[in-house]
Amino acid sequence: MTLINSNQPDFLSVVERQMQLTEAQGQAIRGLVDGIRQMQMDVTEKVEEVQMMVQEVRDSVTLTDNECYQLQSLVRIKSNVLTKDRYKETEEKFKVVVGRYRRMIWSKLKERFEVAKYSHVRRIDFEDAVEFIKEFRPEDHI
């Protein structure tokens, strides 16, 4: 009596074939995981590039109309205060001195922020521009 039937496949060859299929599946999965890792790194790199570009755009955006109006108001107020504190003559002379202070403030503001027009001050510098005007003293710029 024979234990192995000639019509049945060899048990060892079936196991070996199954092992080969499992190894091939493992390699395919490993390749898939490596591909996903690379895609993840590429996406992360692209996201960082986009974030840097967005920040560059944000940093280069200039003042809004409202912010320009606020600076104009501050310069108007500051020039009037400076004139009242330092000049006590006729109304006609008062206007001349106010005008000189306004021109000086605008000139020094543009110089400080390196712009040709005050409206070209970057939005990220708006608070600094407000502080510059509030703290402006002509003596510091003569």
Which pLDDT does position 56 carry in this prediction? 86
The whole-model pTM stands at: 0.63
- pLDDT for the residue numbered 104: 96
Give the gyration radius of the chain's Cα atoms.
Answer: 38
Give the pLDDT score at 1. 46
pLDDT for residue 136 = 96
pLDDT of residue 7: 59
Domain ranges of the chain: 10-60, 61-141
| Angle, vertex CA 134, rays to CA 59 and CA 101, nearest 5 | 105
Residues of the chain with pLDDT under 70: 1-9, 89-90
Chain Cα centroid distance, residue 43: 19
pLDDT of residue 63: 94
Rounded Cα distance between 134 and 139, Å, is 14
Residue 60: the pLDDT is: 81
pLDDT at 8: 62
* Amino acid 80: pLDDT: 93
What φ, ψ does residue 47 adopt, rounded to 5°? -60, -40
